[in-house]
Amino acid sequence: MSDKEIRNLWECGRQEEAFRAIVSAYSERLWWNIQRLSCNADDSDDLLQEVFIKIWQALPSFRWESSLFTWVWRISTNLTLNYLRKARFMSLISLEDASAAIGRRIDEDPDFCGTEAQKVLYKAMAKLPQKQKIVFSLRYFDEMKYEDMSEILGTSVGALKASYHHAYKKIRAELEEKINP
Amino acid sequence: MMTDKKDILEDGRLKEPAFQIDRERLDRLNSTLNDIPSMSGARRNFIPQLAPYLALAALFIAVFAGVRLLAGMTAPAEDDIAFTEEDFLLSTLPVGYSLDDAEDFLPATNCSEDEIIEYFVYSGIQVADLIEDF
């Protein structure tokens, strides 16, 4: 269902149907995005629920002239950033580096079915600064346009390109070192 | 120098899902998400609409409190501005009197009649002068 059709449902007073249409249009893509950043399926479930609760609560004040796609992604990205900050804080308490924790999680996760190169890729992503991590994930995996990312993250296109370029170089270097020495 | 090495990140397999996630898990999650409206009830959230007004009110209160605080810090102590009985008596004196005159004048209010006459005699004040002054 398109954003316009969802808007029509909302404006006709069929609010729950509109919400369910948003769930069906975005939930899976958002879940995978969160999963790539958290590397934890349970955390991804919880975070996605939080995202949609927030969407349901904020829908009445959403101005439908702006893009639903950008708005939904912005909510998800903000909550994911909060989650990553919290994870970093928890790693400070447990004295284990946040990226090391994700690396250990990937090594121990029975659901991980990727290749060795993917394992290195996820571990390298975990080492990136939070915003760079999100920029890399949105661009590399979701192939999102810089203009959309700019609206979601509130950052200029130029800065996003630079950020993606840095992240790309770091990850490629790590992959080349460990997979293709 | 350019190398022939292929960019490793261009390998499409890297973008494939690396986690084996049950389809059932995502379906269950979707059904939980669909229940959010019935769990939280259809409600209108007025907080975002009221937020700018609340922020303005808070700003006004903060500025008012700040001004009050600054005024309190720069104002003279209450002892300095208290209006004493002595000030009242001074304020009733004719304008032509200096402060020194007033200091001389004030204790005289408790003087006896003889002391007043003595004062007039020694200070050379004539009855005619007094009438002229009043």
Ordered DSSP codes for chain B: ----PPPGGG-GGGGS--B---HHHHHHHHHHHHTHHHHH-S----HHHHHHHHHHHHHHHHHHHHHHHHHHHHSPPHHHH---HHHHHHHTS-TT--HHHHHHHGGGGG--HHHHHHHHHHHT--HHHHHHH-
B32 at A interface, C-beta within 8 A: yes
Contact A144, A150 (CB under 8 A): no
Model confidence at B46: pLDDT above 70:
no
The confidence score (pLDDT) of residue B1 equals: 44
φ, ψ for residue B19, nearest 5 deg: -120, 135
Contact A102, A126 (CB under 8 A): yes
Q: Which residues of A touch B48 (CB under 8 A)?
A: 58, 61
- DSSP annotation of A96: S
CA-based torsion, B125, B126, B131, B132: positive or negative? negative
Return the bridge partners of A112, or none. B19
Rounded Cα gap, residues A49 and A15, in angstroms: 18
Contact A30, A50 (CB under 8 A): no
**The residue to which tokens 């390998």 are assigned:** B11
The confidence score (pLDDT) of residue A163 equals: 95
Rounded Cα gap, residues A32 and A37, in angstroms: 9
Best of B10, B22, B29 to disrupt the A interface by mutation (most A CBs within 10 Å)?
B29
Instruction: Look up residue B11 and give its two tokens.
Output: 């390998």
- DSSP annotation of A59: G
φ, ψ for residue A112, nearest 5 deg: -75, 120
Contact A126, A73 (CB under 8 A): no
Q: Quick check: A16 and B9 CB within 8 A?
A: no
Rounded Cα gap, residues B24 and B18, in angstroms: 17
Comparing CB atoms, the residue among A32, A45, A119 nearest residue B17 is A32
Q: What is the mean pLDDT of chain B?
A: 74
Q: Quick check: A117 and B11 CB within 8 A?
A: yes
Contact B21, A41 (CB under 8 A): yes
Best of A22, A52, A180 to disrupt the B interface by mutation (most B CBs within 10 Å)?
A52
The confidence score (pLDDT) of residue B2 equals: 47
Q: Quick check: B9 and A168 CB within 8 A?
A: yes
The confidence score (pLDDT) of residue B105 equals: 54
Model confidence at B134: pLDDT above 60:
no
Distance from CA of B50 to the nearest CA of A (A): 11
A49 at B interface, C-beta within 8 A: yes
Model confidence at B57: pLDDT above 90:
yes
A53 at B interface, C-beta within 8 A: yes
The confidence score (pLDDT) of residue A93 equals: 62
Predicted ipTM beyond 0.90: no
Rounded Cα gap, residues A55 and B118, in angstroms: 98
Give every CB contact of residue A38 below 8 A, 6+ residues apart in sequence. A44, A47, A80, A83, A84, A87, A102
The residue with greater pLDDT, A94 or B49, is B49
Instruction: Look up residue A136 and give its two tokens.
Output: 């890399």
Model confidence at B58: pLDDT above 50:
yes
Model confidence at B43: pLDDT above 60:
no
Q: Quick check: B45 and A49 CB within 8 A?
A: no
Per-residue pLDDT reduced to its tens digit, B59-88: 999 999 999 888 877 766 666 666 677 777
Question: pLDDT means per 10 residues in chain A (181 residues)?
Answer: 87 90 91 87 89 92 88 92 81 67 80 88 89 92 93 93 95 88 63
Mean pLDDT calculated for residue range B10-25: 84
Model confidence at B100: pLDDT above 70:
no
Rounded Cα gap, residues A157 and B13, in angstroms: 27
- Amino acid in position B62: A
Give every CB contact of residue B68 below 8 A, 6+ residues apart in sequence. none
Instruction: Please tell me which residue of chain B has the smallest CA distance to A35.
Output: B19
Q: What is the pTM of this model?
A: 0.63
Q: Quick check: B8 and A172 CB within 8 A?
A: yes
Closest CA to B30 of A24, A149, A113, A133: A24
The confidence score (pLDDT) of residue B104 equals: 57
